[in-house]
Structure 1
């Protein structure tokens, strides 16, 4: 099973690399597949690569759904 998740860009390192955050966890990711990524953007992340920019409202809905499912199962969000 593959999972792509929305993450928020927190820092731009160079034109192909950024730091993204989800649930307080920060990770260095590749932005080589996208153009014009800025701090504050939400992107879909899969195996370390930002695949697509996503609307912030849609990202929040998806993250809220993940959090809801995690709390229902007792798993950490």
Structure 2
């Protein structure tokens, strides 16, 4: 029951910043952030600026992964110099 309360608080705070709960938790893990749901819930309630920073970190990680995935799956255009060619 308490676990659900923590998850609901995190969900509400994450959605407030325009992000999805599952992606948020996944990206935090990939970034090496080892905060449990209780800690994240407390940050969401009592330290909203700190929580917002964690959401920004998760968004940045997601963007970096998307950029690297795009770079891996696209062929360079003829006549355009890319970082991969240097």
TM-score, length-scaled by structure 2? 0.35
Structure with bigger strand share is 1
Q: Whose RCO is larger (CA < 8 A, sep 6+)?
A: 2
The two structures have a TM-score, normalised by structure 1, of 0.38
Of Structure 1 and Structure 2, which has the larger fraction of its residues in helix? 2
